[in-house]
Amino acid sequence: MSARRARVVLASASPRRRELLARAGLDFEIDPAHVDETLAPGVEPVAAARELSERKARAVARRHAEPAFVLGADTVVALERGHGSWELFAKPDSPEEAAAMLRALSGTRHAVVTGLCVVRTSDQRAFLESERTWVTMRALAAPEIEAYVSTGEWRDKAGGYAIQESADRFVTALEGGGFDNVVGLPVARALALLRLAGACLAG
């Protein structure tokens, strides 16, 4: 008797995450989570990304009575400020905020962390993972920042830039994690977490 294909629900409206999962050949539904993303002061980036991904996955899992595996993800950009402290960059709300983020990240080696959570609705058990990529960004001139912000690519992007679009020219090195993680979803890690939770996936 063959195993029944898992029902997978992506708890995100992100077109980038949707595209990455679809390219991997995964069949899934989309049910975006709308949760409070406020974090306690001083939380470090891996803990922050994992906590937010779990909030999203659990919020959506509560809406699904039928057996499913709900995948939540959250990406944070973080700059180490010394003595174990971090500055976290979420999604900018305005062009001015996007420009301020780019000025702060210009010429730095910063972390992009994606937290992953799969909630198995049959017993509400959560499975957590994360991936961190170190991104080296060259120094950006003020006119470059102004021109980039005017494109609007910063919208809905943690840290105010999209490496998969024209901001790739700002990045000189990636270390420790994948390009897809910087885009917003480490696909291989997400599929492995779904399988760990018990999902029967194609391939």
**Which residues form the catalytic set?**
74
Residue 146 CB contacts under 8 Å (≥ 6 apart), including other chains: 99
* Alpha-carbon span 103 to 32, nearest angstrom: 31
Which of these, 76, 147, 73, lies nearest to 105 by C-alpha position? Answer: 76
* Alpha-carbon span 115 to 128, nearest angstrom: 8
Look at strands 85-89 and 69-82 and give their pairing: antiparallel
Residue 169 CB contacts under 8 Å (≥ 6 apart), including other chains: none
129: number of Cβ within 10 Å: 18
Contact present, 134 and 177 (Cβ < 8 Å): yes
* Alpha-carbon span 93 to 86, nearest angstrom: 20
Which of these, 201, 59, 173, 179, lies nearest to 131 by C-alpha position? Answer: 179
